A and B are shown apart, each in its own frame.
Chain A
């Protein structure tokens, strides 16, 4: 290949990416300490930083800004697939109070048994499944279960 695509200032882009990373980490640290519960503010801000970092890498380092329709099309065909995938997952993420993942527990590293069920998790699953937690408490007297219904 003999045609040279346009070159940009690598140093300038490097500084921008490092500045964005530093700003993102500082924002994350401040957010996790001061407004961890304000998810929209914390996550929205972090995702904006991530978006711009990804944008610069994609457009300049991966040279997409200077590519033609064929190369761009190779990436854009994934967009409807990603949207389709998100739609398929949406019921699970939107209706999370109906889920029953037994995931809010800690295992004892020595025995492999459930050692702790995180406080309140029993009440967040459907009532019909809560017997699982109660059964567990009955059959594992050594386990420490927090929250309503625990021992």
Chain B
């Protein structure tokens, strides 16, 4: 038995935008945004590997290396590390909140993350100003040039991260996320955690070792 087509309404019968519709997905079995951010983070791993590797070579090639505890304020930077770890925790808390459709919780935790991230930048700027006022400029010696290079490039990453979190927060306030749509939050969060992870290494290498 055959069924004759008696009427054809493009608004109903035609595929949307006239794109072919397949019953399979030709992309990787993972969210494209997440795939892309991890490729990007892979390049960032190589970037910081080059930076840290160069630092190790220069330090190993230096006849003397000052004890960082004699030159840097470890206490205030330890506090700054605490601030950054807290911001990572609040980002995850925000993500978990939106997955439960707790939008008020998302707004609270995400806003707090931005404040903590900005606080980290503020403390680092304060540290820089204090050091430069005492003549500790990048051209003093290799210790200071590597210090400013590594913490400065990380600081730029933190600033970008804060701006990204803030841009996402605008979408949060507009109700752009829900328990069914939170990938945008996760991508910003992944970048932020990466920045946190790099700082854990830099803090140990530069301030404690």
Question: A: which residues have CB within 8 A of B?
Answer: 1-2, 4, 7, 10-11, 13-14, 17-18, 21-22, 24-25, 28-29, 32-33, 36, 42-43, 46-47, 49-50, 53-54, 57-58, 60-63, 68, 70-71, 74-75, 77-78, 81-82, 85-86, 89, 92-93, 96, 99, 101, 103-107, 109, 112, 118-121, 124-125
Min CB gap B83→A, angstroms = 11
Extra contacts besides A33-B69, A46-B209 (19): CB < 8 Å? A25-B75, A28-B69, A28-B74, A28-B207, A32-B69, A50-B203, A54-B197, A57-B196, A75-B45, A78-B42, A78-B45, A81-B49, A92-B61, A93-B57, A96-B62, A103-B142, A104-B62, A105-B141, A120-B64
Which residues does chain A contribute within 8 Å of B182, judged by CB atoms?
Answer: 1
Measured CA separation A81–B63 after assembly (Å): 29
A-B CB contact pairs (8 Å), 21 listed: A10-B89, A10-B96, A14-B86, A24-B208, A47-B204, A50-B204, A57-B88, A62-B197, A63-B186, A71-B34, A74-B35, A75-B41, A78-B45, A78-B49, A82-B49, A85-B50, A101-B61, A101-B142, A103-B61, A109-B135, A120-B64
Tally of chain B residues near chain A (CB < 8 A): 66
A101 pairs with B62, CB closer than 8 A: yes
B64 pairs with A89, CB closer than 8 A: no
- Which residues 160-209 of B have a CB within 8 angstroms of A? 179-183, 186, 189-190, 193-194, 196-197, 200-201, 203-204, 207-209
A-B contact count (CB 8 A): 168
A58 pairs with B92, CB closer than 8 A: no
A58 pairs with B197, CB closer than 8 A: yes
B60 pairs with A93, CB closer than 8 A: yes
Binds A, one of B7-15, B25-33, B118-126, B151-159: B25-33
Which residues does chain B contribute within 8 Å of A124, judged by CB atoms?
Answer: 63
